[in-house]
A and B are shown apart, each in its own frame.
Chain A
Amino acid sequence: MKTRETDVLFPAHWRRNLWNAIIYALLIAGSLMFLLPLFWVFSSSLKPEYQIFKIPPQWIPNPIRWQNYSEAWTYVPFGRFMLNTLIIAAGAITGNLLSCTIIAYGFARLRAPGKNMLFILMLSTMMLVEPVRIIPMYIEFKTLGWIDTFLPMIVPAFFGSPFYIFLLRQFFMNIPKDLSDAALIDGASHLQILWRIILPISKPALAAVAIFNFQGVWNDFLYPLVFLHRHTNFTIALGLNFFRSSYSIQWGNLMAASMMALLPMVVVFFLAQRYFIEGISFSGIKG
């Protein structure tokens, strides 16, 4: 490297340190901005009503009012809403894991005429705008008598979801073929290869699918809003909306309820962070 004039005045390690200091300053300022709303809401969820509207804001609640949580929990059946959401999530995840692995295996490992065309067709459905499907699907499920049941949110999962199929297919493509070829010559069926060879080494990809799916179900609002009507069937998202709109709510209670709805997702995120990131890199969405 040629020596620049600046190197004499500012040695390389000085510049390096200055650069690092700027990076840290930006990282810290940025993450404070990202964390502050969450901290603020958490703090509000523990405040008695008279402190909530205090100006300038009271950052640390005093006294801490945990009752905001227990009151919110009992005003509306949040336990039931969580259970409903978990049932839908369990059903949808089971469906997607079963169907998507088999479909992805086909796309990744088998040769057949028309395969590429079908694959492109599948990818293009990822870009379809949801609202164009929702009215006919509502009518479809109404005819089947499935409105106000969990089936509209579970059954389609058994037919695979384009994004998860794509993700698993990318992962399966990267598994060396030697092992499965040897098994094929020994007379193993494709189902046996999928079950005995492919799936055991695909756990990270399967986990990514399960987690993305859980996130999707937990956060989903439009589908439950259209398909579920009775309060006892509500998911956590619908339940929170119901809680928000049907009571003359104390902000402290509402923030406590929101924290309860966010918390499971936050926990899942921290436990399974690497799968979120890995899932994105498996799918090869990058340079």
Chain B
Amino acid sequence: MTVITQRFFPARLRWSLQKREALTFYLCVLPWFIGFLLFYLGPVLASFYFSLTKWDLITPPQFIGLDNYERIFTRDKYFLQAIKVTTIYTFTYVPLDLVFGLLIALLVNQRVRGVGIFRTIFYMPSVLAGVAYVVMWMWVFNPQAGLINGLLAYFGVQGPRWLLDPKWALPALIIMSLWGVGRTMVIYLAGLQDIPRELYESASIDGANAWSRFWNITLPLLTPSILFNLIFSIILTFQSFTNVYIATNGGPLDATLFYVLYLYRKAFEHLAMGYASALAWILFLIVLVCTLIIFTTSGKWVFYRGVEE
């Protein structure tokens, strides 16, 4: 197009064509921009303002400066518990998610007959997220007659009380979420299938064994997928809500008081909108800082193959 315009149209007309194209672009993205103001930027700024107020939705918001933040950091033991639970959960679940996702992706990337069926089986649970998924797992974890304790009983092992036991509730939630590991798996799989086979063939000719091929070819070329999965897994895990709201509602003894569950209670059960907004902003900053740290250190370990445009 550029060549054509330069060759056939005089300078002034070309300029106006460029202007028209730009104008069309702005018109095209206008809906997104309005949505950005109404549903992203506006709410984020509003939420910061609310976080500086005391507001119960009935009387008008009352400006109290940084009081909410001060209370959260100095006098709120539930906040500390929520941070603790969410951090432990994130730092256990995310690595497991990344490792299992990769192992399964490597497995279903093998060129054996019928592997497509297995891909489907491993991927399917991840599209089923939501209430039914959790209700299903509550029954699997049922201490008396659930699937897991039922199986353990065959070996004469008395299984724990899982979601009802403060020590076992978090591991149970982790197992439950790992059933959806297909989400990470399928992204690794796309990355794996993008690695040219010739690389492996020439490495084999040079005498590289399977382990060194994995270590020197597969893993480096997969680092962009790992980065993507790491970032999204962390962002999603910090925001876990549905699973814990349904399965334990924060119990037993606040052992699973996840951050967003606590925020939801403050906002929509206690109607402490200002306080909850402060909680939301703290979460926003935590996730932002995590993401930025990962992005800035990613230059050291993420390997990009050429420039693909």
Contact = CB atoms under 8 A, between A and B. Distances in A.
A and B, one complex? Answer: yes
A240 B135 contact: yes
Given A265-B127, A287-B191, A31 B118 contact: yes
Interface residues of A, number: 96
B179 interface: yes
Contacts of A125: 36, 40
Interface string A49-78: 000111111000000000000000000000
A226 B263 CA distance: 13
A136 B43 contact: yes
A130 B121 CA distance: 30
Given A37-B147, A287-B222, A131 B38 contact: no
B282 to A, nearest CB: 10
Contacts, number: 270
A111 B145 contact: no
Contact of B139 (A159, A177, A219, A251): A251
B287 A129 contact: yes
A266 B115 CA distance: 20
B135 A132 contact: no
Contact of A261 (B112, B131, B284): B131
B92 interface: no
A183 to B, nearest CB: 11
A177 B50 CA distance: 48
A262 B133 contact: yes
Interface string A7-22: 0000000000000100
Interface in A172-196: 177, 181, 184-185, 190
Interface in A267-287: 269-270, 273, 276-277, 280-281, 285-287
A218 B267 CA distance: 24
B43 A285 contact: no
Contacts of B268: 138, 226
Interface in B240-298: 241-242, 245-246, 260, 263-264, 267-268, 273, 276-277, 279-281, 283-284, 287, 291
Interface centre among A135, A160, A238, A244 (most CB of B within 10 A): A135
Interface string A126-170: 011111111111111000000000000000101110000100000
Nearest to A59: B150
Nearest to A128: B40
Interface in B112-166: 112, 115, 118, 120-125, 127-133, 135-137, 139-140, 142, 144-145, 147, 150-151, 153-154
Contact of A280 (B133, B154, B190, B263): B190
A165 B124 contact: no
A261 B132 CA distance: 6
B171 interface: no
Interface residues of B, number: 101
B91 interface: no
Contacts of A56: 150, 153-154
Contacts of B34: 159
B194 A156 contact: no
Given A20-B112, A27-B118, A287 B127 contact: no
A215 interface: yes
Interface stretch (A86-94, A113-121, A200-208): A113-121
Contacts of A236: 131
A135 B144 CA distance: 40
B133 A1 contact: no
B95 interface: no
B139 A280 contact: no
Given A57-B150, A132-B281, A276 B40 contact: no
30 contacts: A27-B108, A55-B144, A55-B145, A57-B147, A112-B26, A113-B22, A118-B29, A125-B36, A128-B40, A128-B284, A129-B239, A129-B287, A130-B239, A131-B241, A131-B264, A132-B284, A135-B267, A135-B276, A136-B47, A136-B277, A221-B242, A238-B131, A240-B132, A255-B139, A258-B132, A280-B186, A285-B187, A285-B228, A286-B191, A287-B305
Given A125-B36, A135-B43, A276-B123, 15 more contacts: A35-B121, A41-B136, A56-B150, A107-B28, A121-B36, A128-B284, A132-B47, A132-B284, A181-B4, A184-B1, A190-B24, A221-B245, A241-B131, A255-B139, A287-B225
